[in-house]
């Protein structure tokens, strides 16, 4: 059982600069776990996902095997390409409920009306993993237009436009319901402030559209302002910003943001902007956490089916998400070792996958396998 998603904690007395290897520092640790099925220390549900998922999760498995990480995988090759895999999806959900911790790639969601619902969303709702956390941080070895970017996106995962409540009230007229509740707004806002405290962050920004959606987003914004008063004595600055202005400010001056909290749909948009600011979906880790379950996955949710099977995918986001999972399990030494090696490879700039582009010492033509091997070499 988890404690609260982020335990309220005082700021550490020793102030120091955060490094990228402190990802997930503020998440709770598992204190009790039933015996694993296969005799290892921890059993984790693995769902490789669609597109490049199998390739980048293979990188994680190869690295974990090399460092002898005490993880046993229960793997379910669920695919969202068709609804035929619904039974396998249900088995994967039972495994997640049993193990309480999972690592997954992104499952494809069809656009057509005849397609099944998003299984990514179904997992978040059924497990009530209500907080999505995406870390966006500039890396020295991956220069982009902006430098010194370092912010966390906290996204409410279970309601809003993703409630899935749609109907056609009259031919050619569709009503889509956006559900907002005070209870869920309050818990995600508290999560964001507690995350800021635990990780020595200075400011929390609420992203909204309350000028137009005065009731729905107004409830979210007013809840944020009320909760912010509880954290004033902690020295956490609080402000709010309309979503369209936030998008402009992110591409103009992203350094102004520290922790951002927002409803579901805005989080989907902002996480993509954030990933682009620091180099793309290949290096942005993330996770989804609730009171009882945690599911770790790349922060920018792309299937990347266009490069599926080509051995060209950047596995860094999945590897870093896996190190967040290790820290969650209390395996900090192994996590830091893998994360440090991953960042060393990126910052050295010699082995770069195609999405990372060309630098002085690299053509940007490394394969997924070569990038993984270089991480193992640096361990």
Task: Give the tens place of pLDDT for each residue, 252-300.
Answer: 999 999 999 999 999 999 999 999 999 999 999 999 999 999 999 999 8
Task: Give the tens place of pLDDT for each residue, 159-206.
Answer: 988 777 888 889 999 998 899 999 999 999 999 999 999 999 999 999
With CA atoms as reference, report the closest residue to 139 among 19, 250, 285.
Answer: 19
pLDDT value, residue 111: 66
**Would you mind telling me the total number of residues written for the chain in this entry?**
379
Task: Give the tens place of pLDDT for each residue, 88-134.
Answer: 999 999 999 999 999 999 888 776 555 556 778 888 989 999 999 99
Mean pLDDT of 298-322: 91
Tokens of 40: 């290892």
Residues in Cβ contact with 275 at an 8 Å cutoff, skipping those fewer than 6 apart: 134, 136, 281, 283, 284, 299, 300
pLDDT value, residue 304: 84
The pTM is what? 0.88
Which contiguous run of DSSP H or E holds residue 165?
strand 160-170
Phi and psi torsions of 249, nearest 5°: -65, -35
Which contiguous run of DSSP H or E holds residue 161?
strand 160-170
Residue 143 scores a pLDDT above 60: yes
Tokens of 21: 């290897």
pLDDT value, residue 360: 57
Q: Is the dihedral of CA 199, 43, 34, 95 positive or negative?
A: positive
Tokens of 281: 């979906």
Q: Are the C-beta atoms of residues 326 and 332 closer than 8 Å to each other? A: yes
């Amino acid at each position: 059982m988890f404690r609260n998603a982020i335990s309220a904690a005082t700021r550490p007395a020793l102030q120091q600069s955060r490094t990228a290897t402190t990802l997930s520092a503020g998440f709770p640790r598992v204190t009790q776990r039933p015996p694993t099925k296969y005799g290892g220390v921890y059993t984790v549900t693995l769902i490789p996902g669609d597109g490049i998922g199998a390739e980048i999760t293979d990188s994680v498995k190869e690295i974990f095997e090399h460092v002898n990480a005490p993880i046993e995988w229960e793997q379910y090759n669920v695919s969202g390409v068709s609804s035929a895999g619904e039974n396998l999806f249900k088995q994967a959900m039972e495994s997640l409920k049993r193990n309480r911790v999972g690592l997954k790639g992104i499952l494809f969601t069809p656009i057509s009306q005849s397609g099944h619902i998003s299984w990514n969303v179904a997992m978040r709702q059924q497990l009530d993993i209500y907080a999505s956390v995406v870390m966006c941080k500039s890396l020295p070895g991956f220069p982009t237009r902006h430098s010194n970017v370092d912010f966390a996106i906290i996204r409410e995962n279970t309601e809003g436009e993703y409630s899935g409540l749609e109907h056609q009230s009259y031919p050619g007229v569709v009503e889509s319901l956006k559900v907002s509740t005070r209870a869920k707004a309050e818990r995600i806002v508290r999560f964001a402030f507690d995350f800021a405290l635990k990780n020595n962050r200075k400011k929390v920004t609420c992203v909204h559209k309350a000028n137009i959606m005065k009731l729905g987003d107004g409830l979210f914004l007013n809840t944020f302002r009320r909760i912010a008063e509880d954290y004033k004595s902690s020295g956490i600055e609080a402000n709010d910003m309309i979503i369209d202005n936030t998008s402009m400010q992110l591409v103009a001056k992203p350094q102004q943001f520290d922790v951002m909290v927002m409803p579901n749909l805005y989080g989907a948009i902002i996480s993509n902007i954030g990933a682009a600011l620091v180099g793309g979906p290949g290096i942005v880790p993330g996770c989804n956490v609730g009171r009882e379950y945690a599911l770790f996955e790349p922060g920018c949710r792309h299937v990347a089916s266009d490069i599926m099977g080509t051995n060209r995918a950047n596995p860094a986001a999945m590897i870093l998400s896996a190190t967040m999972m290790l820290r969650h399990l209390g395996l900090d030494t192994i996590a830091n070792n893998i994360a440090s090696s991953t960042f060393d490879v990126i910052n050295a700039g010699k082995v770069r996958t195609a999405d990372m582009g060309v630098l002085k010492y690299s053509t940007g033509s490394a394969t997924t396998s070569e990038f993984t091997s270089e991480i193992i070499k640096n361990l």
